[in-house]
Amino acid sequence: MTDIIEIPRYIAVEGVIGVGKTTFAKSLAEEIDATLELDEGYDNPFLSDFYQNRERHAFTTQLFFLLSRFQRQQSLRTHDLFADHIVSDYIFARDSLFASVTLSDRELTLYEKIMPILERDIPKPDLVIYLQASTEVLLDRIRLRNIKAERSISKDYINKLCEAYNQFFFHYTDTPLLVVKTDNIDFVNEPAHLEDIVNQLKRPIHGKRYYSPSPTAELDYDSAK
């Protein structure tokens, strides 16, 4: 078992659909003996309809996600954050990210009246890990896992999500942030890749740190908030 003394207590994992958030969160939680908090996005009864017709079903889909995520985040308060380690496969702000891509201007105006009321009492993670990948890699992973609800996801939609996520995390300052380029990472079949990330977590992260396992592309530094 990995020594977790220096590892942040509450870690949230984020990234675009298909990047491997849940797989990584499960592996990390097991490795550091943490409680696992999952988004459970496929419980959304409107999701399949949304992928078939985004304009028609965007608002109901997003509203269900918002309220569901709010309830799950509130449940984190039942955990003793000073005693237990928690790994989540989402941050509450992801809801706003998707809303900015999927909702019409009128729908977004209404959404933005609801969201601030709910997010006031949401606990902040001690560290956010942003798993990043190219659109091509994301589409390949989506096809490989072959989830029925995702079969009609378009390249254009994934492109828009990538742009929204990259823009969001470029300006992100709410918590320490570790950005991990995952195009060449396989957390399932390469245990060393997970071990590398855990070792990153043992080093204090101030502001942002960028990490890639490729020797030719490694960006490993801290930048001030």
Mean pLDDT per 10-residue interval, the chain, length 225 residues: 65 95 93 89 87 92 93 76 80 94 96 92 92 95 88 92 95 95 86 88 89 54 39
CA pair distance 17, 21, nearest whole angstrom: 8
Q: Which residue among 39, 80, 89, 174 is the active-site one? A: 89
Q: Tell me what pLDDT residue 82 has.
A: 57
Q: Tell me what pLDDT residue 218 has.
A: 40
CA pair distance 216, 85, nearest whole angstrom: 33
Q: Tell me what pLDDT residue 219 has.
A: 40
Tokens of 62: 């997003």
Q: Tell me what pLDDT residue 60 has.
A: 95
Any idea where the domains of the chain sit in the sequence? 10-223
Q: What pTM was computed for the model?
A: 0.86
Cα angle 170, 47, 108 (rounded to 5 degrees) comes to 50
CA pair distance 24, 47, nearest whole angstrom: 23
Using DSSP bridges, classify how beta strands 208-211 and 222-223 pair: parallel, antiparallel or unpaired. antiparallel
**Does CATH number 3.30.70.270 belong to domain 10-223?**
no
Catalytic residue check, 174: no
